[in-house]
Amino acid sequence: MDLTPLWTSLKIAAISTSITFVLGVATAYTMHRYQGKGKALIEGLLLAPLVLPPTVLGFLLLFLLGANGPLGQLLTPLGLNPVFTWYAAVITATVVSFPLLYKTALGAFQQLDPDIQAAARTLGASEWTLFRRIVLPLAGPGLVAGTSLAFARALGEFGATLMLAGNIPGQTQTLPMAIYFAVEGGAFTDALFWCGVTLVLTLGSLMGINLWLARGCVCSSRPKRSRRQPGRKSRQQRLSHPPGAERGLSVDLQKQVAGFQLKIAFHTHDTTLGILGASGAGKSMILRCIAGIETPDAGRIVLNGRVLFDSDQGINVPSCDRNIGFLFQDYALFPHLSAEENIAFALSSGQSLVASTASSHLAALHLSDWAHHYPHELSGGQQQRVALARALASQPQLLLLDEPFSALDTHLRNQIEKFMVTRLSTYEGMTLWVTHNLEEAYRLCDPLMVVERGQRSTLRSKHQILAQPETVSIAQLTGCKNFSRIQRQGPGQVLALDWNCRLHIVEPLGSHPTQVGIRAHQIRFFDLEPPGERPINTFPGWLVMTRETPHRMTLYLKLQEPPTHADDYQLQAEVFKDKWRQLKEHPFPWSITLDPIRIMLLRESAESHS
């Protein structure tokens, strides 16, 4: 039997699949990143060959490439008209198989964690390096699956090929055409044979790819490292900044985010600045704008005298050239690279030096035995240490930490915190530390900037913010639980409306306060103090209910009169359990003291400070 249709089909399918792979991957990656107008229309056109009837598609190709068609009139004088040639079959196979590979590749790219790509950019990787070393390996399974589908579709193309390439034995007659014309001629045995060949080829290729992917061949492959990363700045270049320039970070940016307008301005030259705020306040977005992961709508960002972003001058330095390290909340380690390779990714020296430097980082982390393990084989604490070492490996001028302890349990958080303090003590750059945990911010940072719904509430030392919060929201963020609206009663006196008592205060009333507050642990009980003169701001109080923690008791109290139900309380106090054991023996009413020195005068809302 003449096997020419088999070889013709394999040749056409192989060539068209190769073309489709290049075009499909490039187009899918471009569309994945494209956010401009007309995206839906463009995608509709790219996917049209998947839904158009083969005869319609074949006629359109014939109209375009025929001797009188728009393209045919240009190609015919050059002797390149493809109609009724074997490469016309390549064209039709490419057109019909392209949507399958494009859509599969686009889905593979869309499933990639954007923080992993952002991490590569902050480590100095160019877009080509990012695509070659991170995107392509991680999207590999999807691309291979799409390629196998495109090959099977090219192998089975019939209608459009018949109209454009014809059925020329030995040139354009493919397996589907051999089957069709064998049936037309009554040669059912030949048709059955070619059907079997087609099934073996298509099902065999699909099964082979599925088995290969199931064994993890694509994901576990380790890309070889070149001696130098293309597009990667040298360490000296990345550390350089204008001679004599003032050291520090100046940020003034605006960006519309979900629910509010982020409008923040600050300047710092301190070693570690803490950014404190509730979840959703815009803290992480500030870091992402500084790192170049997100683009502000307007503003200016200057690091050590170098302008990174200026909307008026049209300056927007790419992430890879900003020399800013970023420790993401979920660490964003490259899953297809080992711990050592993750750290080495940030280095740009020769291969032998990279290996030794990465090994030294791992030794400092006490992770030498885990150098060749992948992120999924490491614990949460080990992953975080590798991510920190990777962020510091390129010696950035600024390190951004986005709630690095949020995913850790209490014991592990304490261990990692000690490690990070030790590691950062040798870091010569500046650090911005985002957190919503007051105790964490107090331990690790000195100046604190409080952010509320995208606005800067205050930027002061942590001691000032804790002792004298300016607004109710800042006081709540720093752990205060007791607030009351007030009316002025005279010099040094206010009426606490929600506590039903008149208070003497020490702080001047000139700042137009609307409320007072007192922290739960600062409420005193005269019943537990040595006999003496009754202090001012001491009122009778009753216990409504209690809540127990391992070391303290939270007491819910009502002043002036007994409670009438379980929710009838005004204040929360916290006492250690040894004090509680003494206090609970005293009869009601207890004598509760609100020390004038501890009472905070608060405004309802913050005013921006430059």
Q: Which of 408, 437, 467 is the last residue of a domain?
A: 467
DSSP calls for 139-181: HHHHHHHHHHHHHHHHHT--HHHHHHH---TTTT--HHHHHHH
The pLDDT, as a whole number, for residue 351 is 52
Asked if the structure places residue 373 within a domain, the reply is yes
Dig out the tokens for 583 from the structure.
């206090």
Asked if the structure places residue 228 within a domain, the reply is no
Rounded to an integer, what is the distance from CA 137 to the centroid of its chain? 19
Is 152 in the same domain as 193? yes
Asked if the structure places residue 233 within a domain, the reply is no
Q: Long-range contacts made by residues 501-510, C-beta under 8 angstroms, separation at least 24? A: 501/537, 501/539, 501/559, 501/560, 501/594, 503/537, 503/594, 503/596, 503/599, 504/536, 504/537, 504/596, 505/596, 505/599, 505/601, 506/596, 506/597, 506/599, 507/599, 507/600, 507/601, 509/601
Q: Quote the pTM value.
A: 0.79
Band (pLDDT 50/70/90 cuts) for residue 239 is very low
Q: Tell me, what CATH number does 354's domain have?
A: 3.40.50.300
What lies within 8 Å, CB to CB, of 169 at 6+ separation is 4
Is 378 in the same domain as 431? yes
**pLDDT > 70: percent of the chain:** 91
Is 457 in the same domain as 560? no
Is 448 in the same domain as 496? no
Is 542 in the same domain as 600? yes
Q: If you count them, how many residues does the chain have?
A: 610
C-alpha torsion 334→219→147→51, nearest 10: -60
Contact (Cβ atoms closer than 8 angstroms) between residue 47 and residue 127: no
The alpha-helical segments, DSSP class H, found in 254-406 are 283-291, 339-345, 351-364, 380-393
Q: 334 or 410: whose pLDDT is higher? A: 334
Residue 223 has pLDDT above 80, yes or no: no
Is 137 in the same domain as 108? yes
Is 301 in the same domain as 176? no
Q: Tell me, what CATH number does 139's domain have?
A: 1.10.3720.10
Asked if the structure places residue 226 within a domain, the reply is no
The pLDDT, as a whole number, for residue 453 is 87
Contact (Cβ atoms closer than 8 angstroms) between residue 243 and residue 308: no
Is 288 in the same domain as 385? yes
Is 197 in the same domain as 54? yes
The residue among 334, 398, 347 whose CA lies nearest residue 116 is 334
Instruction: Report helix angle 39-51 to 4-33, nearest 10.
Output: 160
Each residue's pLDDT tens digit, 81-107: 788 888 899 999 999 999 999 999 999
Q: How many domains does the chain have?
A: 3
The pLDDT, as a whole number, for residue 605 is 67
Residue 531 has pLDDT above 50, yes or no: yes
Asked if the structure places residue 398 within a domain, the reply is yes
> What mean pLDDT do residues 229-244 have?
47
The pLDDT, as a whole number, for residue 221 is 43
Q: 392 or 295: whose pLDDT is higher? A: 295
Residue 393 has pLDDT above 90, yes or no: no
Is 248 in the same domain as 275? yes
Each residue's pLDDT tens digit, 490-503: 888 999 999 999 99
> What mean pLDDT do residues 398-415 have?
78
Each residue's pLDDT tens digit, 269-305: 877 899 998 888 899 999 999 999 999 999 999 999 9
The alpha-helical segments, DSSP class H, found in 231-336 are 235-239, 283-291
Average pLDDT, the chain: 87
> What mean pLDDT do residues 330-353 have?
82
Please give the single-letter amino acid code of residue 570. Q
Q: Which domain holds residue 273?
A: 240-467
> What mean pLDDT do residues 556-584 have?
95
Q: Which of 467, 498, 517 is the last residue of a domain?
A: 467
Q: Measured between alpha carbons, how far is 376 from 220 in angstroms, rounded to an integer? A: 12
Q: Is 71 left (phi over 0), alpha (psi -120 to 50) or beta?
A: alpha
Band (pLDDT 50/70/90 cuts) for residue 213 is low
**Local structure of 488: helix, strand or coil:** strand
The pLDDT, as a whole number, for residue 19 is 96
Each residue's pLDDT tens digit, 243-270: 555 789 999 999 998 888 999 999 998 7
Asked if the structure places residue 105 within a domain, the reply is yes
> What mean pLDDT do residues 179-185 have?
88
Q: Which of 467, 484, 512 is the last residue of a domain?
A: 467
> What mean pLDDT do residues 371-376 have?
92
Asked if the structure places residue 338 within a domain, the reply is yes
The residue among 598, 388, 362, 404 whose CA lies nearest residue 503 is 598
Q: Measured between alpha carbons, how far is 540 from 572 in angstroms, rounded to an integer? A: 15
Residue 610 has pLDDT above 70, yes or no: no
DSSP calls for 507-557: S-STT---EEEE-GGG-EEGGGSPS-PPPSSEEEEEEEEEEE-SSEEEEEE
Tokens 């019909």 found at = 96
> What mean pLDDT do residues 125-147 have?
92
Is 463 in the same domain as 474? no
Each residue's pLDDT tens digit, 192-202: 988 998 888 88
Dig out the tokens for 195 from the structure.
């059907």
The residue among 159, 148, 149 whose CA lies nearest residue 52 is 159
**pLDDT > 90: percent of the chain:** 50
Each residue's pLDDT tens digit, 29-59: 999 999 888 999 999 999 999 999 988 999 9
Residue 410 has pLDDT above 90, yes or no: no
* Residue 474 Cα distances to 410, 429, 477, angstroms: 25, 29, 5
Asked if the structure places residue 234 within a domain, the reply is no
Q: Measured between alpha carbons, how far is 162 from 89 in angstroms, rounded to an integer? A: 8
Dig out the tokens for 544 from the structure.
């409504």
The pLDDT, as a whole number, for residue 1 is 63
Bridge partners (DSSP) of residue 575 are 553
Is 260 in the same domain as 293? yes
DSSP calls for 448-475: EEEEETTEEEEEEEHHHHHHS-SBHHHH
Compute the Cα dihedral for 598, 603, 606, 609 and give only its sign.
Answer: negative
Q: Looking at mean pLDDT, say which of 50-59, 527-536, 557-566 comes out highest.
A: 557-566
The pLDDT, as a whole number, for residue 216 is 59
